Structure 1
Amino acid sequence: MPLALRPASEDDLSDLEPLTPSRSKSGKDKARDKLERERTKGQPGSSAGSEKKRAIVWHPEEEAKKIAKALNHHKADPDPVIDILPALTHDQTWLLRKEYRKQVKIQGKGISLPKHLKMKLTGNFGKAAYVTALGRFESEGYWANFFYQSHGSRRELLIESLMGRTNGEIRMIKDEFKDKRYGDDLEKCLTKELKMDKFRSAVLMVLEERRQEEQDAYPAEYVDRDVETLYRSLTARQGGESAMLEIVVKRSDAHLRRVLDGYERAHGENFARAALKKSNNLVGEVIAHILNGVINKPVRDAMLLNHAIHDVAAKNKDDDLRYELLMSRLVRVHWDKPHLERVKRAYAEKFRKQLKDDIEDATKGDFREFMAELVETK
């Protein structure tokens, strides 16, 4: 299993904290608003007062003008892009894109901000700016189908963009997916591009949007049934992976915590470790990614970032994918500032270094400056 998804050793799993006991009726905007409310409910800095204050002092018209001016040169000025894009929330990014299309026109037609960035900026910095400008959900669709366009043998980007998501997040990723070859249909794209195997079945299962919702608590007998199904799957001489995927992919995080706790009490072993031993393949990668997030998402994401950073530092002239893993992981966590703070704390506790310092040591130039700004949570 690739290092980026598999813990460096079983000790890494033990470092994770112990376990403790409808589609929108009025379109994408309402679905996005509802998802954002659910995501920020009860989180630090998510009060109505703080959001209102931030909205008053931020002006998308001025920011759009600054970026347009920066790009309107033979050699684009990177500073405004670095200063503006990483600090924006998902909703602010959408407002900026809307304003940019109104202000900037080529042959009389408004141009999208991500496309303009892609035209004018180059290298890893240009790609990072482009993906960030896509926003929280369209960027995940970009990574979900990136593997077949450039790196068919590397599935981390696909796994991390889709696995462990809520139904609402999957819905938004599907709604904002762009690929004209497949009529902007993510399900059609992955059905065609993935070979017929259990990994493909797991991906399509996610896209069905039938995962248990976090607020839906199943009775205790469901937990016991899942525990025994997982045990039979692990102890079977052959097969068992499909049954494991059915549970791990379709159950909520809260339910899976109860199952993992019940499994350890009933059978005296950690199911996540046992599953990795049985399935040292793509199925194992899917299970590891989801369950590591269930156990401790900040630690999981800190480990993923650390692996990507060290890959870039060690092989930064050999493989562009090293950069893509880093930028995909960092752009992903930066949308949720409270979660990013938890990731930074977990990173410092586990690796005894600051995330921003490691990123700056491993990268260079405008790319380094942009990545460093993504880590900021002010």
Structure 2
Amino acid sequence: MSYHHPYPPPNQPPYPPYGAPQAHPHPPYPQQPNPGYGGPPPGQYNRPPPAHPGQYDRPPLAPPRQASYPPHGQPPAGPGYHSPHPSHPPYGAPPQPFPPQGGVGYPPGPQPGPYGGGPVGGYPSQYPPQQFHSAPPSQPSLGYIPGQLAPGDFRQEADGLRKAMKGFGTDEKSLIQILSRVDALQMATIRQTYSNHIRRDLYKDVKSETSGYFRDGLLAVIDGPLMHDVTSAREALKGFGTKEWLLDDVLVGRSNADLNAIKAAYERTYGRSLEKDVQSDLSFETQNLFGMILRANRHEESFPVDPRTTEEETKSLHSATAARVRNNVQEVCGIFARSSNNELRAISQTFSARYNASLEKHIDKEFSGHMKDVLLQMLRGALDPAMRDAELLEDCMKGMGTKDDKLVRRVVRVHWDRAHKDQVKRAYHHRFGKDLMERVRGETSGDYQRLMVALLE
């Protein structure tokens, strides 16, 4: 049975455009999304069809961009934002086949949907049921293929970085200006160019010339999304105790392709198995859940949503948790770990319709501790990844003091995908009635503040 009427995401507010689109010094080539947290529910944002990407011609470095924001509570002026993903149809539109290949510097195979997923929604009815289990896999997100570089000559950026650190004192503003506005492949190319052209290690130079959370942010950007995930996973696991929030940020809700890239890079870097390190650091049910996650065998986003399976798994979730002395955690974890974001959205809507209750609130009531955090992060990433990330950023800043380590990592992670970053800013304003950049500006200071704000522009 083919299913070609995808479930719409329940209760999704149409966030208004967050300011006019900004120009970037390096126009994006056909960009694979990053860093792999599941695509946004389609149709949630105003997406005019983007122009066809052209040749990757790199202009000179542009002056810093000045963002303009509307007064709080008023709809912003200017056109809606443009998605860099031409293959994404609006939610509810007829499903589209995968687009033709040919993007610069990308491997063959189907282009993924947002953050490593496939196109949203099921295939048209002409696809027979036997193809359900051979759905095209997603490709790794931008920056998750080792050795992949952006085309072009980046000696100007390499020279600018060296000049900013050479001699007495450091030109922090130049470091921020250059490093805050490049994407993952451009960053990899700049780092290689710096090594070949300057004959020095960019990471080591920046590490020796800067300090504090400013240095942490710059080094995270220089590492790129894959190696930043790898080093973050290692930091979450090493030493006494586990940084559960950091492990969740790196591994929960990721595409199979990105998880496999992280596991392979972790083993190359540390000579250790990420699966074994996670298993030895966790215990009880969370150990089993992360074991399922790290198998990296979620249904792909191109896998059509089957309403019969959705009904069965919705009933299974309810019977595994409702009116029981002890929840059947294994059943719940199995459903969450194997379901695509499309399927989790369908299950959530079916649960609400059948039981007149929110699945998110049900999970929040029935579970506790780390298990609850992981399940909710998986579900929220499927329902509304922009809102999930907006709430994770607010979690870094609310209450007494700022959780700077969390803030640096989460801002850098959001920064890698410009379209998603724009969505997060809109979602943050919708949820908290505040400007995200102003909120971050009020929680930080000095060069650290300037870097965080620049990464969010």
> Shorter-chain TM-score: what band?
0.7 to 0.9
Q: 1:326 to 1:50 in 2, by over 3 A?
A: farther
Moved more, 327-336 or 151-160: 151-160
1:142 counterpart = 2:231: yes
Q: 1:254 to 1:229 in 2, by over 3 A?
A: same
Q: Which amino acid aligns with 2:245?
A: E
Give the match for residue 378 of structure 2: 290
Q: 1:18 to 1:264 in 2, by over 3 A?
A: farther
Give the match for residue 53 of structure 2: 49
Q: 1:323 to 1:277 in 2, by over 3 A?
A: same
Which whole-Å CA distance do the structure 2 matches of 1:253 and 1:48 have between them? 27
Q: Deviations over 1:16-36 (max 9, x none)?
A: 6279xxxxxxxxxxxxx9955
Q: Which amino acid aligns with 2:157?
A: E
Task: Specify which of 269, 293, 305 is matched with residue 393 of structure 2.
Answer: 305
Q: Which amino acid aligns with 1:183?
A: G
Instruction: Report sequence identity in percent.
Output: 23
Give the match for residue 76 of structure 1: 170
Question: Contact (CA 8 Å) 2:35, 2:225: kept in 1 or not?
Answer: no
**Following superposition, which runs of at least 4 residues in structure 1 exceed 4 angstroms of deviation?**
33-40, 42-48, 56-59
Moved more, 125-134 or 212-221: 212-221
Moved more, 287-296 or 362-371: 287-296
TM-score normalised by length of structure 2: 0.67
Question: Contact (CA 8 Å) 2:33, 2:417: kept in 1 or not?
Answer: no
Task: Specify which of 222, 225, 246 is matched with residue 157 of structure 1.
Answer: 246
**Map of 1:109-124 to 2, 5 A cutoff?**
110-111=200-201, 113-124=202-213
- Structure 2 unaligned residues grouped into runs of 5+: 1-9, 15-29, 62-152
1:195 counterpart = 2:282: yes
Which whole-Å CA distance do the structure 2 matches of 1:132 and 1:38 have between them? 13
Deviation at 1:150, TM superposition (A): 6.2
SS in 2 for 1:49: coil
Give the match for residue 344 of structure 1: 425
Of Structure 1 and Structure 2, which has the larger fraction of its residues in helix?
1
Give the match for residue 348 of structure 2: 260
Deviation at 1:73, TM superposition (A): 3.6
Q: Deviations over 1:316-372 (max 9, x none)?
A: 4xxxxx111111111111111111111111111222221111111110010000000
Q: Which amino acid aligns with 2:333?
A: L
- Structure 1 unaligned residues grouped into runs of 5+: 1-14, 20-32, 317-321
Question: Contact (CA 8 Å) 2:440, 2:449: kept in 1 or not?
Answer: yes
Which whole-Å CA distance do the structure 2 matches of 1:290 and 1:191 have between them? 19
Give the match for residue 29 of structure 1: none
Question: Contact (CA 8 Å) 2:35, 2:417: kept in 1 or not?
Answer: no
Task: Specify which of 209, 217, 220 is matched with residue 131 of structure 1.
Answer: 220
Q: Which amino acid aligns with 2:383?
A: I
Question: Contact (CA 8 Å) 1:115, 1:130: kept in 2 or not?
Answer: no
Which whole-Å CA distance do the structure 2 matches of 1:370 and 1:37 have between them? 20
Give the match for residue 335 of structure 2: 247
Which whole-Å CA distance do the structure 2 matches of 1:87 and 1:45 have between them? 24
1:315 counterpart = 2:310: no
Question: Contact (CA 8 Å) 1:272, 1:288: kept in 2 or not?
Answer: yes
Question: Contact (CA 8 Å) 1:86, 1:374: kept in 2 or not?
Answer: yes
SS in 2 for 1:221: helix
Give the match for residue 362 of structure 1: 443
Deviation at 1:265, TM superposition (A): 1.4
Q: Deviations over 1:169-193 (max 9, x none)?
A: 212323433785x41643343234x
Moved more, 221-230 or 170-179: 170-179
How large is the Cα RMSD of the aligned pairs?
2.9
Question: Contact (CA 8 Å) 2:225, 2:416: kept in 1 or not?
Answer: yes
Q: Deviations over 1:55-76 (max 9, x none)?
A: 3556421111111222234543
Task: Specify which of 302, 319, 325 is matched with residue 232 of structure 1.
Answer: 319
Moved more, 76-85 or 360-369: 76-85
Question: Contact (CA 8 Å) 2:237, 2:277: kept in 1 or not?
Answer: no
Q: 1:273 to 1:296 in 2, by over 3 A?
A: same
Question: Contact (CA 8 Å) 1:35, 1:168: kept in 2 or not?
Answer: no
SS in 1 for 2:266: coil
Q: 1:46 to 1:97 in 2, by over 3 A?
A: farther
Q: 1:50 to 1:126 in 2, by over 3 A?
A: farther
Question: Contact (CA 8 Å) 1:90, 1:135: kept in 2 or not?
Answer: yes
Which whole-Å CA distance do the structure 2 matches of 1:265 and 1:176 have between them? 43
Which whole-Å CA distance do the structure 2 matches of 1:306 and 1:124 have between them? 18
Q: 1:75 to 1:362 in 2, by over 3 A?
A: same
Which whole-Å CA distance do the structure 1 matches of 2:242 and 2:255 have between them? 26
Q: 1:200 to 1:305 in 2, by over 3 A?
A: same
Which whole-Å CA distance do the structure 2 matches of 1:247 and 1:354 have between them? 37
**Map of 1:326-341 to 2, 5 A cutoff?**
326-341=407-422
Question: Contact (CA 8 Å) 2:35, 2:413: kept in 1 or not?
Answer: no
TM-score normalised by length of structure 1: 0.80
Q: 1:135 to 1:16 in 2, by over 3 A?
A: farther
SS in 2 for 1:87: coil
